[in-house]
Amino acid sequence: MAISKTFYITTPIYYPSGKLHIGNAYTTLYCDVLKRYKSLQGFDTYYLTGMDEHGKKVETSAQDAGVPAQDHVDRIAEETKKLWTLMDIEYDDFIRTTEKRHKTVVQTFFEQLLKQKDIYLGHYEGHYCMHCESFFTETQVGPDHICPDCGRPTQLLKEESYFLKLSKYAKKLHDYIIEHPDFIQPESRRNEVLAFIDNGLNDLSVSRTTFDWGIKVVSDPKHVVYVWLDALTNYISALGVLDDEPHLYEKYWKGDEVLHVVGKDILRFHAIYWPIMLMALDIPITFKLYAHGWYMMKDGKMSKSKGGAIYPETFINRYGLDAMRYYMIRELPFGSDGLFAPDAFLERTNFDLANDFGNLLNRSVAMVNQYLTGQVTQKNAQTAFDADLEDQLAHTVIAYDKAMDAYNPAAALQEVFTLISRANKYIDETTPWVLAKDETQHDVLENVLYHLIESLRVIGILLIPVMPESSRTLFGYIHADEAHQTFESRVFGAQPLFNVEKKVTPLFPRLDVKKELEALKTPVEKPAEAEAETERTPMIAIDDFAKIDLRVGVVTACRAHENADRLLVSTVDLGEETPRQIVSGISKFYTPEQMVGKKVIVVANLKPVTLRGERSEGMLLAGSNAKTLEVVELETLNPGDSVR
């Protein structure tokens, strides 16, 4: 058996300085997308993420919260992992810099560098930014002594510090960058780094005596290791670089492809300090560096500590994970900044996902049922438009791979949606509804519908890295066995026969943009605790009962509540302009799939509440006893009809 090539991908390790926002989530998602793509391509992949848990800021925020620093970071690490689970991030390891496996490596490296005199003791005098934990020169802070990175005031400090001899390696690094043109991407960032080196590198202060929450320097324990030297080491400490048998390190660090993904804010640390550390330690530089731009809000950059950022949970809980994954990847162009705007999110979801992609699936499956009894095979009865669609499909696969191989999934998605548009156009060109009227055109009709379903199958494979759940659902609708949806099977004609499902529930329901924008503005109410146990209620008069507005509703979608095991979140059509979201404690008795399509009775004038973070705008009627629960169902009435 051929040995697979390896692909090792890393995110920055995040500071536990606040709730992660869509900016941090972007990097993590981007890495997940590339990992999934490379796995599909046959690479043996390894994906590392984690937390950067030391430093003055962490110490201070734990003190403010009145908890020991370790408890503080433990809690944030758990919350972070929960977010990655919610986002379906397939990481292989989660490194935390407070772990022993990491600390030992940092301490050993520090002592080694000290011994070989690449680290030396000196004094630092300069303008120190508490927030960035960095010293700056007089020129950098300007007349107002403002931190050039974050804009906060700096303090003049003098302290004893160890230094790493950056200057000694400046020329070697410069040459390395010149000799490896694809080391830093995009090219504009590479030029920035070269210019920075050309300006002259000062030795880097790599220890602190002003706080304790860090890894102690073994030979001089009043010093803790400066966060960047500590943090950067994570990329190899997680691979067990100093283990007796460093399997992971040998396999992935010294493997075929290593990619560090970072935001442009931390480019310098990864493009200068990290390679110099590796050179000094005589460890091969095997990685490539991709620095992406920032997601901005209309009023500027998001910040974890300043608050006011956009959080992924809001969008995922309301619109589903894949809509969010799609938007985040699609909207940030390679290497530049992008805007995260709720209105653009809603419009993209409507246009690209509900209209173009969702409709192609709905229409194609519906036509196979309506005109062909649910089965479609390849037929030798061509139309004038087949070749163009097939060419587009082949071209899309090539262009998509080219974009993905260049680490540009936004461009790859654009290619997929060109194919989706082409397939929609093919429906208009071939007019299956006209062909269906003419018996003699039966084979042509079947050939047309085959083209559509087969294109959808390939589209499904192309969407796996970004929208894995939707791809899986699509394969289910057209009965394309998931195990056969491989990198190689992205060619027209790979599956000659399909039996499609009778009915498709829209993957992405159309959103009422105006209403959703209003809803997104409303601050989420505090999560209510589970409803109080009901006691037997007192007798009421008929007038009291008349106050309850009971209506017929149809459950059009349903999913498990992210933060409460017993709750399901249903979308219920009451015949109103927009469907309602209703949260019910019924998950022990019904799966979300069983709920979809049920005609239920809804208490329509119940005051909306928020249950564990999900808004509930009504209540479903159900009967229950000690053992079981049954949702009350109707048969023939229509959504909105009243129940008395």
Provide the binding-site residues for ligand ME8, judged by CB under 6 A. 12-15, 23-24, 26-27, 52, 231-232, 234, 262-263, 265-266, 294-295, 301-302
Q: Name which of 97 and 471 has its Cβ closer to ligand ME8.
A: 97
* Tokens of residue 115, six digits: 């011994």
Half-sphere exposure at residue 257, Cβ-oriented, CA atoms within 13 angstroms? 22
List Cα–Cα distances, 516 to 63, 359, 522, 616, 639, in angstroms: 39, 21, 10, 15, 22
Count CB atoms within 10 A of the CB of residue 491. Answer: 12
Q: Name the phi and psi angles at 607, rounded to 5.
A: -60, 130
Q: How many residues would you count in the chain?
A: 644
We find the least distance from the C-beta atom of residue 78 to ligand ME8, in angstroms, to be 16
Cα angle value 196/189/168 (rounded, 5°): 35
Pair 14, 74: CB distance under 8 Å: no
Q: Which residues contact 205 (CB under 8 A, 6 or more apart)?
A: 124, 135, 161, 162, 163, 226
Distance of closest approach, residue 583 Cβ to ligand ME8, in angstroms: 31
Expressed in angstroms, the distance from the first to the final Cα of the chain is 69
Give CA angle at 319 (318, 320), nearest 5°: 105
Pick 18 or 246: Cβ nearer ligand ME8? 18
Please calculate the CA angle 383-387-388 and round it to the nearest 5 degrees: 110
Give the number of other CB atoms < 10 A from CB of residue 540.
Answer: 10
Nearer to ligand ME8, 298 or 644 (CB): 298
Which 3 state secondary structure label does DSSP give 464?
coil
Distances (CA, A) of 116 to 55, 160, 165, 280, 282: 26, 20, 11, 9, 12
- Shortest CB 522 distance to ligand ME8, Å: 24
Reported in sequence order, the residue ranges of 27-82 that DSSP labels E, i.e. its strands, are 44-51
Q: How far is the CB of 51 from ligand ME8 (least distance, A)?
A: 8
Output DSSP code: residue 633: B
In terms of CB distance, is 227 or 500 closer to ligand ME8?
227
Radius of gyration of the chain (CA): 29
CB of 257 to ligand ME8, least distance (A): 19
Is the omega angle on the peptide bond into residue 186 within 30 degrees of 0, that is, cis?
A: yes
Q: How far is the CB of 28 from ligand ME8 (least distance, A)?
A: 8
User: Considering the complex, what minimum distance in angstroms separates the CB of residue 188 from ligand ME8?
Assistant: 17
Smallest distance from ligand ME8 to CB 291, Å: 8
Shortest CB 361 distance to ligand ME8, Å: 31
Smaller CB separation from ligand ME8, 237 or 396: 237
Q: Give the shortest CB-549-to-ligand ME8 separation in angstroms.
A: 45
Nearest CB to ligand ME8, comparing residues 14 and 492: 14
Q: What span, in angstroms and rounded, lies between the C-alpha atoms of 241 and 283? A: 10
Amino acid identity for residue 243 in this structure: D
Tokens encoding 390: 């097939």
- Shortest Cβ 13–ligand ME8 spacing (Å): 5
Of the candidates 433, 430, 428, the one whose C-alpha atom is nearest the C-alpha of residue 381 is 430
β-bridge partners, 125: 158
Q: What is the C-alpha to C-alpha distance for residues 636 and 644, in angstroms, rounded to an integer?
A: 16
Which is nearer to ligand ME8, 303 or 355 (by Cβ)?
Answer: 303
Task: Give the three-class secondary structure for 534.
Answer: coil
Nearer to ligand ME8, 25 or 444 (CB): 25
Least separation in angstroms between residue 545's CB and ligand ME8 is 53
CB closer to ligand ME8, 27 vs 571: 27
Q: Find the helix or strand (DSSP H, E) in which 415 lies.
A: helix 409-430
Between 86 and 150, CB nearer to ligand ME8: 150
Residues 6+ apart with CB under 8 A from 44: 4, 5, 6, 7, 251, 255
**CB distance 556 to 534 below 8 Å:** no
Nearer to ligand ME8, 23 or 613 (CB): 23
Residue closer to ligand ME8 by CB (options 49, 396) is 49
Structure tokens at 523: 């601050």
**CB 296 → ligand ME8: shortest distance, Å?**
7
C-beta closer to ligand ME8: residue 263 or 592? 263
Min. distance of Cβ 237 from ligand ME8 in angstroms? 11
Residue with Cβ nearer ligand ME8 (56 or 451): 56
